[in-house]
Amino acid sequence: MAITFGGTALLETMPGETYQPRQRLSISTEHTSHFNAGPEFEESEDDSDDSSEEMDIENKFPDVEHMSVITAEESDPWLPKIVLSLDGGSHRNFSTLLILQALMKKIEQFEQKTDPTISDSARSREFHLPSTNSRPPSDSRFRPCHYFDYIGGASTGGLIAILLGRMRRPVDEALEIFLQFSQTMFPNFPRGMGISRLPRALNNKATRSEKFAAQLDWSKPTDSSPEEDGQRFVSDSLRCRTIICAMEKTRLEDQGLGLRPYLFRSYAHEARDESSYLRNPGGATDRSTADVAKAAVAASQFQNFEQHGYYDSGPGLNNPSLELYNEITSLHDPDNLALFISIGCGASKTKDPSSPQSNSRAWKLKASFKRQEKELSLGADAVHRRMHRKSRSPVSAFEYFRFDVKENIPESSLGNWQSIQPGRHALKKIAAATDAYLAQPEVDNRLHECAEQLVHRRKLRAETLQWESFALGVRYCCPHLVQCQVQKDKVRFATRDVLLDHLRTVHKEPPPDANNFERINSLLDRGRINSDRSDGS
């Protein structure tokens, strides 16, 4: 259907589609490039030039957004995109969450420094809140989903990304769930168990991990949008988006079955043409959130390969930053990538090869796991170096931060996972190593800078009407229930000013001047669909 004004089409929608304009804002958001990859960065002479693998900038296409006929764009704080990438690392993702917790604490400090009355990151003193029904509880505090446009992860990092992005949970809650998950994540090997029994134990471990992921409460994200079904991975595209990097079982040409990278998306991303660089383009992932969570943690080396369609990212995609970069710069103009934060989870501490245990069968098996972990860590560092180079590109520079504990992270559970209280000893070591890392002045300064920029960008966005949609999932529908064709087609308006456009152009309502302000404001309030309301009444 079309909505016209003076014979000109203003809006083309399909039933159930949301109309989103650009926002009007008087604050400049000119981007100044800054590069800080962290003290652990070292440029390697062995790294080959990846310019041939760079995506053709001319083939990128920006978001297509409709303009409001009443509110013309001046500058838009929503154009710069902010990304959080989480490495996969099994039990070492405990370090990831501790780093995120430290970042969110600094964010809270900055927020309260500029506004002592602020209670949580969804708040804005600018937009209209006619009802308290959609306000988040006071204990929600500050959530990553209100600071990042995209949160993506691989393996266990993907599970964390689902909790923070798709389910919009705070970091503290994700930490609690991770500690529960850790009880099933690692195999519990009694001392003296024979090598022949190890494959079965590992397979049981993987099965338990998948079952735990499936049994988590995925029923309803925080502040759900009216049409949102929390049990499905697809979500409101105007809110924080989630990307999970995994591997898909496929039949390779002349090679039989194999694995290739696959992205689970909470939003649609169609290929513009056949030359577009996209992983499995198309609509949003039409699967349950539980299924995506299971795929994120399904370790291929512990599974019956014929029985599973998707697996965790493995060594090749353990650091998903490059996959996320390619995905986001193909969806938006590359110049719109503003801030990219990547959080790793360290490398295991190596063991002296001269150890008297090194000739035992158990040690050799453990050594194979160590080699895999080393490969996994080296792959993450290689991706980090490429991302650092991309961030300095004269064509499309962006700010890039990498946080990664490099020392004293304990090895996999084969040696350290105790029988009585699984993982407690290893988690204590991870916490101690992460605390020491965060205490380094340079790391603290970089966290400080990240928090400052994230708060600054959130505040700019919170001054726009689109913040209601992004932070609370609010939508608007036409309050003229009977005579409005748009309402009959169940079209939702993204923001309050777009509904005002509709009322004035279609229903010939007067402007909200001094004489008509109360009436127009009442109509807009009637059209507001709260997060916990599914109709426009």
Task: Encode pLDDT of 86-107 as tens digits.
Answer: 999 888 899 999 999 999 999 9
Residues 426, 295, single domain; the answer is: yes
395 lies in some domain: yes
163 lies in some domain: yes
Looking at per-residue confidence, does 275 or 456 come out higher? 456
Weakest-pLDDT range from 18-32, 220-234, 417-431: 18-32
Q: What is the structure's pLDDT at 26?
A: 32
Q: What is the structure's pLDDT at 510?
A: 94
Residue 521 pLDDT exceeds 70 = yes
Looking at per-residue confidence, does 65 or 267 come out higher? 267
Residues 245, 316, single domain; the answer is: yes
Residue 461 pLDDT exceeds 50 = yes
Residues 418, 517, single domain; the answer is: no
Residues 386, 411, single domain; the answer is: yes
Residues 373, 240, single domain; the answer is: yes
Residues 233, 348, single domain; the answer is: yes
Residues 532, 415, single domain; the answer is: no
Contact 188, 417 (CB under 8 A): yes
Weakest-pLDDT range from 13-27, 135-149, 385-399: 13-27
Residue 414 pLDDT exceeds 50 = no
Contact 260, 247 (CB under 8 A): yes
Residue 484 pLDDT exceeds 50 = yes
57 lies in some domain: no
Residues 481, 449, single domain; the answer is: no
**Please, what is the average pLDDT of the chain?**
73
Contact 96, 380 (CB under 8 A): no
369 lies in some domain: yes
What one-letter code names the amino acid at 515? N
Q: What is the structure's pLDDT at 516?
A: 94
Contact 434, 95 (CB under 8 A): yes
- Classified as helix, coil or strand, 250 is strand
Contact 495, 465 (CB under 8 A): yes
Weakest-pLDDT range from 50-64, 151-165, 191-205, 458-472: 50-64
Contact 287, 308 (CB under 8 A): no
pLDDT digits (tens, 9 = 90+) for 174-223: 999 988 877 766 545 444 444 444 444 444 444 555 666 666 766 667 66
Nearest-5° Cα angle at 313, 308 to 319: 170
Looking at per-residue confidence, does 270 or 534 come out higher? 270
Nearest Cα neighbor of 532 from 239, 228, 122, 129 is 228
SS3 track for 490-530: CCEECCHHHHHHHHHHCCCCCCCCCCCHHHHHHHHHHHEEC
Q: What is the structure's pLDDT at 490?
A: 77
In 133-278 the beta strands, taken as DSSP E runs, fall at 150-154, 241-252, 256-265
Residue 151 pLDDT exceeds 50 = yes
pLDDT digits (tens, 9 = 90+) for 421-442: 446 778 888 999 999 999 999 9
Residue 134 pLDDT exceeds 90 = no
Residues 11, 34, single domain; the answer is: no
Query: How many residues comprise the chain?
Result: 537
Tokens 């909470």 -> residue? 266
Q: What is the structure's pLDDT at 81?
A: 97
Last residue of a domain, one of 408, 437, 464: 464
Contact 177, 163 (CB under 8 A): yes
Q: What is the structure's pLDDT at 417?
A: 41
Angle between helices 424-438 and 93-114 (to 10 degrees): 40
Enclosing H/E stretch for 175 = helix 171-185
pLDDT digits (tens, 9 = 90+) for 101-128: 999 999 999 999 988 888 889 888 765 4
Residues 6+ apart with CB under 8 A from 432: 408
Separation CA 525–CA 521 (nearest Å) = 6
Residue 131: which pLDDT band, with cuts at 50, 70 and 90?
Answer: very low
Enclosing H/E stretch for 122 = none
The dihedral of CA 225, 246, 399, 329: what is its sign?
negative
Cα dihedral 326, 331, 335, 337, rounded to 10, equals -70
Nearest Cα neighbor of 21 from 328, 476, 534, 509 is 476
Residues 6+ apart with CB under 8 A from 115: none
Residues 442, 491, single domain; the answer is: no
The arithmetic mean of pLDDT across residues 469-487, rounded, is 87
DSSP structure class, residue 310: E
416 lies in some domain: yes
Separation CA 130–CA 483 (nearest Å) = 25
Q: What is the structure's pLDDT at 90?
A: 81
- In the chain, % helix, strand, coil (3-state, to 5) comes to 40, 15, 45
Residue 352 pLDDT exceeds 50 = no
Q: What does the DSSP assignment read for 432-501? A: HHHHHHHTSHHHHHHHHHHHHHHHHHHHHHHTSTHHIIIII--EE--S-TTT-HHHHTTPEESSHHHHHH
How far is the CA of 279 from the CAs of 54, 263, 325, 330, 445, in angstroms?
15, 6, 12, 11, 36
Residues 6+ apart with CB under 8 A from 65: 20, 21, 22
Last residue of a domain, one of 464, 486, 513: 464
Q: What is the structure's pLDDT at 273?
A: 64
Domain coverage including residue 526: 1-23+476-537
In the chain, pLDDT over 70 holds for what percent of residues? 58
What the block records as the tokens of 500 is 């005002």
Residue 345 backbone dihedrals phi, psi, to 5 degrees:
-140, 25
Residues 375, 351, single domain; the answer is: yes
Separation CA 422–CA 182 (nearest Å) = 8
Q: What is the structure's pLDDT at 207?
A: 54
Cα dihedral 306, 309, 311, 313, rounded to 10, equals 120
Cα dihedral 295, 298, 299, 301, rounded to 10, equals -100
Q: What is the structure's pLDDT at 254?
A: 60
131 lies in some domain: no
Enclosing H/E stretch for 337 = strand 337-343
Last residue of a domain, one of 464, 494, 523: 464
Residues 93, 197, single domain; the answer is: yes
Looking at per-residue confidence, does 219 or 451 come out higher? 451
- Classified as helix, coil or strand, 215 is helix
In the chain, pLDDT over 90 holds for what percent of residues? 36
Q: How many beta carbons lie within 10 A of that of residue 456, not counting itself?
A: 14
How many independent structural domains does the chain possess? 2
Residues forming beta bridges with residue 83, ordered by sequence position: 150, 340
The dihedral of CA 373, 350, 321, 207: what is its sign?
positive
Q: What is the structure's pLDDT at 185?
A: 60
Q: Per mean pLDDT, which of 313-327, 334-348, 506-520 is the most reliable?
A: 506-520
Q: What is the structure's pLDDT at 458?
A: 97
Enclosing H/E stretch for 157 = helix 156-161
68 lies in some domain: no
Weakest-pLDDT range from 45-54, 252-261, 370-379: 45-54
241 lies in some domain: yes
What the block records as the tokens of 108 is 């809270």
The arithmetic mean of pLDDT across residues 64-87, rounded, is 69
The enclosing domain of 34 has a CATH number of 3.40.1090.10
